[in-house]
């Protein structure tokens, strides 16, 4: 059943808050004004013939170009992702992994690719415990090391997506990106800032320093950044195939960098910790395999919401929260009341995610977490008038339903700000929703010498140790295991046809941002661009939920009345991309107007408006 949409007076109130949130902060350049030489950025595009939304205008432009030349959504998504490996190298690239969700218009089926990095065969449960102290390594020590590098799945994801559903070879998808890597692209303020934030780590490695710290400084905004090594790497892969990466010279160099981190002899200031080697082998790389899990599904107010299953917790957590929220008619509530429900449902789903969801969670438990009867059990913990004390305990997916049984409380997740997301739809109605990452912004800070790409630090998404006295942690490291992710590429169908596709970076906040955009769009009556721009909050079962400043000023007081703890102000949550299908082959492509410098949405044939 789809519930009727909301009242006009509430629309006006929400839109007013959106307008505040979307105006650029004082002194900041508007999203459309990139450095000279960069294609223009538009956060919203209406039209026909196909649509692309990414964080980067060059990647969006290449995706649209592929669509214009008759390529399909998969061809365009891989070409855009390859471009992001060049122009957004601190968030994405062939040194990392990700999750791709695909809607196939011909069969009307949703497929997924799990290209998550996997732990090498040598990984042990205590690999992140310092033998000298018996305690976990500090995060930054684990991050900037060979130890944190998971076996990358991104290149194989591109190859396999094209083989299954694309119409062009990988070489065609890599060519424009190689060209831009060689010719260079203009550095924008976000790129420069990402280097500045990572300067100390980048300075530890000659290859990283040479590429991203010219003259010892972050590159100036408007300067041209060239990456000839990456152009060569892409071209070698295009010529020789992905074997040159997984079982050839590029892979050999990658493994050498992991095992003997290429530390500069003379860093301006040495890293704060010893830089530990990893133990990945060429056999680990040659043995990497994609997985193709069935998507998660939850039905929400008449829509079918498809997401990514384990090792991502995204699909399960978004789906469980939606199932809980469906027990309440949000459209009848005031905005603060609806947001109270959103925050409480997030906390309940997060408690379960932390306690139960990781690589290897049984299908039975996953199915129960997404069962409406389980949601009913959990929803009885959501008091419409009062925020529950945090952390709330997880439920008990024991196969029985009925009461409000609970277990022991779980921990909060890691709120990252790296990673990138892209959304593509073609004229035939195929849709790609793809989140890719190298984990932290800048990954583990090591560019593979001579190859031009950064390595991931994805294995820091494992829990480093079992918390003493707590319930068994499902996310401890093990050989070949994939660390739990929060990535939530999501495709929403309406009667089996695409309605909305969306995703975002943001570490553990990914889940709440995707959920909040869905609630904004489906329950609060916002248009997609309004739903994207609206200020965000993230309650991950914590006594210190996060919220953007505009959210705190708009709703902090009203939510305090429900007993929500004070929000920790966070400049930005996420950097989403989305596409809505308007019927009669129309699209609304939507990117961030302001966050992370603004994104780039485009359509093949703009509508006359």
Q: In 3-state terms, what secondary structure has residue 224?
A: strand
Closer to ligand GLU at the Cβ: 162 or 578?
Answer: 578
In the residue annotation, 419 being an active-site residue is answered as: yes
Q: Which two tokens stand for residue 441?
A: 């912004």
Contact between 486 and ligand GLU (CB under 6 A)?
yes
DSSP code per residue over 383-412: BTTBPPPSSPPP---SS--SS---------
Closer to ligand GLU at the Cβ: 307 or 416?
Answer: 416
Residue 475, preceding bond cis, omega within 30 degrees? no
CA dist 4 and 14 (Å) reads: 17
Instruction: Tell me how far, at minimum, the Cβ of 97 lies from ligand GLU, in Å.
Output: 8
Taking residues 508 to 537 in sequence order and writing x for each that binds ligand GLU by CB under 6 A, - otherwise, the string is --x---------------------------
Instruction: Tell me how far, at minimum, the Cβ of 307 lies from ligand GLU, in Å.
Output: 13
**Pairing, β 546-547 against β 568-569:** parallel
C-alpha 305, offset from chain centre = 17
Contact between 487 and ligand GLU (CB under 6 A)?
yes
Instruction: Tell me how far, at minimum, the Cβ of 534 lies from ligand GLU, in Å.
Output: 20
Choices 138-146, 317-325, 412-420, 469-477 (CB under 6 A): range interacting with ligand GLU: 412-420
CA dist 454 and 465 (Å) reads: 27
One of 53, 244, 304, 418 touching ligand GLU (CB under 6 A): 418
One of 310, 419, 546, 590 touching ligand GLU (CB under 6 A): 419
Instruction: Tell me how far, at minimum, the Cβ of 67 lies from ligand GLU, in Å.
Output: 26
Contact between 505 and ligand GLU (CB under 6 A)?
yes
Contact between 444 and ligand GLU (CB under 6 A)?
no
CB contact at 8 A, 226 and 183: yes
Total residues interacting with ligand GLU, rule: CB under 6 A? 15
Instruction: Tell me how far, at minimum, the Cβ of 280 lies from ligand GLU, in Å.
Output: 18
Helices (H), ranges, 213-264: 228-240, 243-246, 249-259
CA dist 532 and 517 (Å) reads: 6
CA dist 91 and 86 (Å) reads: 10
Contact between 93 and ligand GLU (CB under 6 A)?
no
Q: Which of 22, 154, 244, 419 is catalytic?
A: 419
Choices 81-89, 399-407, 416-424, 539-547 (CB under 6 A): range interacting with ligand GLU: 416-424
CA dist 138 and 154 (Å) reads: 27
Contact between 507 and ligand GLU (CB under 6 A)?
yes
Instruction: Tell me how far, at minimum, the Cβ of 509 lies from ligand GLU, in Å.
Output: 8
One of 229, 439, 523, 530 touching ligand GLU (CB under 6 A): 439
Helices (H), ranges, 184-242: 189-197, 199-202, 206-212, 228-240
Instruction: Tell me how far, at minimum, the Cβ of 416 lies from ligand GLU, in Å.
Output: 3
CA dist 395 and 378 (Å) reads: 7
Closer to ligand GLU at the Cβ: 437 or 516?
Answer: 437
Phi/psi at 88 (5° precision): -125, 55
CB contact at 8 A, 31 and 598: yes
Contact between 485 and ligand GLU (CB under 6 A)?
yes
CA dist 413 and 395 (Å) reads: 18
Choices 202-210, 237-245, 384-392, 499-507 (CB under 6 A): range interacting with ligand GLU: 499-507
By CB under 6 A, the residues from 194 to 213 that bind ligand GLU are none
Binding site for ligand GLU (CB under 6 A): 416-419, 437, 439, 458, 461, 485-487, 505-507, 510
Active site residues: 419
């Amino acid at each position: 059943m789809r519930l009727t949409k909301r009242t006009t007076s509430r629309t006006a109130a929400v839109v007013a808050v959106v307008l505040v949130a979307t105006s650029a902060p004082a002194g900041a350049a508007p999203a459309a004004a990139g450095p000279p030489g960069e294609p223009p950025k538009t956060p919203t595009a209406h039209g026909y013939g196909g649509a692309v939304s990414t964080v980067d205008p060059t990647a969006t432009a290449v995706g649209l170009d592929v669509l214009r030349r008759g390529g399909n959504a998969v061809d365009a998504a891989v070409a855009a992702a390859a471009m992001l490996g060049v122009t957004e190298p601190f968030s994405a690239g062939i040194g990392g992994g990700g999750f791709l969700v695909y809607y196939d218009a011909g069969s009307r089926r949703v497929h997924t690719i799990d290209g998550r990095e996997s732990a090498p065969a040598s990984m042990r449960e205590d690999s992140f415990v310092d033998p000298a102290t018996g305690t976990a390594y500090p995060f930054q020590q684990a991050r900037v090391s060979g130890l944190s590098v998971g076996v990358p799945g991104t290149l194989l994801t591109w190859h396999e997506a094209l083989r299954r559903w694309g119409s062009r070879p990988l070489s065609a998808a890599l060519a424009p990106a190689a060209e831009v890597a060689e010719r260079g692209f203009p550095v924008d303020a976000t790129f420069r800032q990402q280097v500045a934030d990572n300067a100390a780590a980048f300075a530890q490695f000659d290859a990283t320093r040479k590429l991203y710290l010219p003259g010892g400084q972050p590159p100036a905004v408007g300067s041209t950044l060239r990456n000839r090594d990456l152009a060569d790497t892409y071209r070698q892969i295009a010529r020789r195939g992905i074997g040159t990466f997984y079982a050839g010279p590029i892979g050999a160099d990658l493994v050498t960098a992991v095992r003997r981190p290429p530390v500069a002899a003379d860093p301006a200031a040495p890293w704060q910790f010893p830089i530990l080697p990893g133990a990945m082998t060429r056999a680990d790389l040659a043995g990497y395999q994609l997985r193709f899990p069935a998507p998660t599904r939850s039905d929400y107010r008449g829509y079918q919401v498809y997401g990514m299953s384990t090792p991502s917790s995204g699909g399960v957590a978004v789906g469980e929260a939606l199932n809980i929220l469906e027990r309440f008619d949000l459209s009848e509530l005031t905005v603060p009341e609806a947001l109270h429900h959103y925050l409480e449902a997030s906390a309940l789903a997060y408690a379960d995610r932390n306690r139960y969801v990781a690589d290897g969670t049984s299908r039975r438990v996953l199915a129960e977490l997404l069962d409406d009867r389980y949601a009913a059990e959990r929803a009885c913990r959501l008091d419409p008038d009062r925020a529950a004390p945090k952390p709330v305990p997880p439920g008990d997916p024991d196969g029985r339903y009925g009461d409000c049984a609970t277990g022991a409380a779980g921990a909060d997740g890691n709120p990252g700000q790296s990673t990138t997301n892209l959304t593509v739809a073609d004229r035939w109605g195929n849709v790609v929703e793809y989140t890719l990452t190298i984990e932290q912004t800048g990954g583990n800070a090591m560019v593979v010498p001579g190859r031009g790409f950064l390595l991931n630090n994805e294995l820091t998404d494992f829990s480093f140790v079992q918390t003493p006295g707590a319930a068994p942690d499902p996310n401890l490291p093990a050989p070949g295991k994939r660390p739990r992710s929060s990535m939530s590429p999501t495709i929403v169908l309406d009667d089996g046809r695409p309605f909305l596709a969306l995703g975002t970076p943001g570490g553990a906040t990914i889940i709440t941002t995707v959920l909040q955009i869905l609630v904004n769009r489906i329950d609060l009556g916002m248009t997609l661009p309004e739903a994207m721009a609206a200020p965000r909050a993230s309650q991950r079962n914590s006594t210190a939920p996060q919220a953007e400043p505009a959210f705190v000023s708009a709703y902090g007081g009203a939510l305090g009345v429900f007993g929500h703890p004070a929000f920790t102000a966070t400049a930005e949550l996420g950097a989403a991309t989305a596409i809505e299908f308007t019927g009669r082959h129309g699209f609304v492509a939507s990117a961030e107007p302001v966050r992370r410098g603004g994104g780039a949405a485009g359509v093949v044939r703009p509508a006359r408006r």
